[in-house]
Copies of this chain bind each other. A is one copy, B any other.
Amino acid sequence: MAEHTNKQLDEITLSTESIYKGKIISVQVDTVKLPNGDESKREVVRHSGAVAVLAIHNDRMIVVEQFRQPLGRTQVEIPAGKLDPGEKPEDAINRELKEETGYTAKSMKLLFSFYTSPGFADEIIHLYLADELTAGDAELDEDEFLEVTEITLEEAFAQIREGRMSDAKTIMAVQAWQLLKLGAQPGQ
């Protein structure tokens, strides 16, 4: 990631108040000096980042259905997981794909690294494209319950329409797959 910054738009952090330190996120409120000299508050959620993967096997996308407490229902998403402290994304993605779905990939290519919600959170997701998949047994965490399935692009479109598939990384992956099937490179 380039560290470009437009100095005329910069805010200066004056102080930071820690609100919460949890297992997945921590929360802080920063007091900042705005470009016009006024002060304002910025609520910030810290997250260690995650990896996700567009994994195509026999022209079907591997997806997992799992319960999402913030939504109060299950969602169909591409395989994904948090980065362990100090873990490299390219190592994490092979581990997560294997743990969640049992599949291993011969090669992984980074498609996009993106911030999920930069207005209030620093969570970054590294989205990979997996190639040459081999099936195997999943190895789920003890508090992880999910169902693995494989769906066609048309089924993915239908699940987006129905709202069963409705998170950023998954819709981004479906669009990337749609572009790849048209012979285009996503984002280039």
- Chain A positions within 8 Å of B, measured between CB atoms, are 1-6, 8-11, 13, 19-20, 22-25, 27, 29-30, 32, 34-36, 38, 40-47, 50, 65-75, 77, 112-125, 142-143, 145-147, 157, 160-164, 166-169, 171-172, 174-176, 178-179, 182, 184, 186-188
| Docked complex Cα distance between A147 and B8 (Å) | 10
| Docked complex Cα distance between A115 and B146 (Å) | 19
Oligomeric state, in copies? 2
Query: Which of A47, A65, A175, A179 neighbours the largest number of chain B CB atoms within 10 Å of its CB?
Result: A175
Q: Chain B residue with minimal CB distance to A121?
A: B70
| Docked complex Cα distance between A34 and B176 (Å) | 33
Q: Are A145 and B74 in contact (CB under 8 A)?
A: no
Q: Chain B residue with minimal CB distance to A69?
A: B42
Q: How far is the CB of A92 from chain B (nearest CB, A)?
A: 15
Q: List 20 A-B contacts (CB under 8 A).
A: A3-B73, A4-B74, A9-B66, A19-B19, A20-B27, A24-B120, A25-B120, A36-B145, A45-B120, A71-B118, A116-B116, A117-B123, A160-B188, A168-B169, A175-B175, A175-B176, A175-B179, A175-B187, A178-B187, A182-B184
